Amino acid sequence: MKKILGIALILVLIGVYILYPRKNINIVTQMSEEEIIGLEKILKHYEMFHFIKFNIIRVPFSGHFSRIQEMIKQNINIDIARVDIKMPEWFKKYVKSEPVLQAVDTLVMIYDANDKIKPPETINDFFDFIENNTVDINGKTIKDKGFDKDKIMQYAVYIPYVSGWWMSVLYGSNDRNFLTENADKENFISISRRIKYYYKNGLIPRVCSDFYEEMMRMFISGDVKIIFNGPWSFSTLREKGKDFKVYYTPRGFSGRFSPMGGQQWVLLKDNKYTEKAFEYLGSNYVAEKFYEYNSTLMPNKGLIERLEKSGNIVASQLKDAVKIDKNTDYILYEFFSNEFVEYLNDKISEEKLFESWLNKIKYKK
């Protein structure tokens, strides 16, 4: 009889647990679909013990601050959002508490694990790699007579020349002052000439402002051997079945250079339910799980030190990464998507290009 009563009690408790009303918490994120799979696992763990139901709303990364603002103005309830750490001033009025860092971002070299190549160690190795490994449909390189730049079979490297964030890897490795008024003119022009040579001779793919998906597609399909990307891309590559390896960015005269950014959680509705969930998202447990599921590195000192000691490339690369503030990020974006493209297409000289760069850096606010 006691056994039956015990079973009945358990069934009642299970029924109460199942039927007990859940508090809805809406989270907006600009994660990729593959990254969201990891986030869902992390949120499910919290849901099990807190009678909470999380609803994830995905928005594109590009323009995500404006998109979230539009949703707020449309009275769409948003409790928590994941946004870039370079938060515009106008958005801060919506934030109810101090943001919680979700990920530190940087760029590393990614290459096909099945392609028996040695990843370029230095900037000069990197440039040699491009010239020796971009081949046309006849298997010829730029060094061979009859190379057809209009019929490339495989590119060695994808260089998003419209993106200052990506291009900083090349310019910064030879000049630590690249982002200052003391930028080295000789190095700046040398790198610019090199990229223009590749652009004119078909050694790198032509790109547009929305290059990211195309870059990933070309790497996954094997149309390009090497890309620079961040740890946020690893889950997508695995999901697509791409076997890849990771290495440091090329070393130049000034060492290795990689830009540092990040993502953060912001609380947009403050109540006892959202505040507890927000606290959970910043916990050590979540830091470990984000790395396990998505290879995402939260700024958790213990985790990063442990990974660095184990030889983790991303954790080690972060030591040399340079934080890019909001103003510098905008200058990089504006310069490389405008003046640099004009330079590639012979609309401005290299002298004018460098002058324009210095002016933008000098008068940044």
The pLDDT, as a whole number, for residue 13 is 44
Cα(5)–Cα(296) distance, rounded to whole angstroms?
48
Do 216 and 199 form a contact (C-beta atoms < 8 A)? Answer: no
Do 170 and 254 form a contact (C-beta atoms < 8 A)? Answer: no
What is the identity of the amino acid at 173?
Answer: S
Cβ-Cβ contacts under 8 Å for 181 (sequence gap 6 or more): 358, 361, 362
CATH architecture of 20-105+261-311: 3-Layer(aba) Sandwich (3.40)
The pLDDT, as a whole number, for residue 171 is 97
pLDDT band (50, 70, 90) for residue 107: very high
Strand spans (E) along 268-331: 321-323
Whether the model clears a pTM of 0.95, i.e. scores above it, the answer is no
In the chain, which residues fall in CATH 3.40.190.10? 20-105+261-311, 108-229+325-362
Cα(279)–Cα(151) distance, rounded to whole angstroms?
54
- The answer, yes or no, to whether residue 299 has pLDDT greater than 90, is no
Taking domain 108-229+325-362, whether its CATH number is 3.30.950.10 is answered by no
pLDDT band (50, 70, 90) for residue 332: very high
Is 250 or 16 the better-scoring residue by pLDDT?
250
The pLDDT, as a whole number, for residue 10 is 58
- The answer, yes or no, to whether residue 14 has pLDDT greater than 60, is no
DSSP code of residue 58: E
Average pLDDT in the 278-284 region? Answer: 95
The pLDDT, as a whole number, for residue 237 is 95
Average pLDDT in the 115-120 region? Answer: 92
What is the identity of the amino acid at 2?
Answer: K
The pLDDT, as a whole number, for residue 309 is 87
Is 63 or 303 the better-scoring residue by pLDDT?
63
What is the number of helices (H) and of strands (E) in the chain? 15, 13
Long-range contacts of 232-236 (CB under 8 A, 24+ apart): 232/31, 232/32, 232/35, 232/103, 232/105, 232/294, 232/296, 233/32, 233/110, 234/294, 234/295, 235/32, 235/34, 235/35, 235/37, 235/38, 235/293, 235/294, 235/295, 236/32, 236/34, 236/35
The pLDDT, as a whole number, for residue 17 is 46
- Find the Cα–Cα–Cα–Cα dihedral 18, 22, 25, 26, rounded to 10°: 70
- The answer, yes or no, to whether residue 356 has pLDDT greater than 60, is yes
Comparing C-alpha atoms, which of 124, 123, 159, 153 is closest to residue 136?
A: 153
Is 232 or 79 the better-scoring residue by pLDDT?
79
Instruction: Tell me how crowded residue 343 is: count the other CB atoms within 10 A of its CB.
Output: 23
Q: What is the pLDDT of residues 17-33, one digit of tens each?
A: 454 566 999 999 999 99
What is the chain's Cα-based Rg?
24
CA distances 201 to 167, 194, 232, 344, Å, are 19, 11, 32, 11
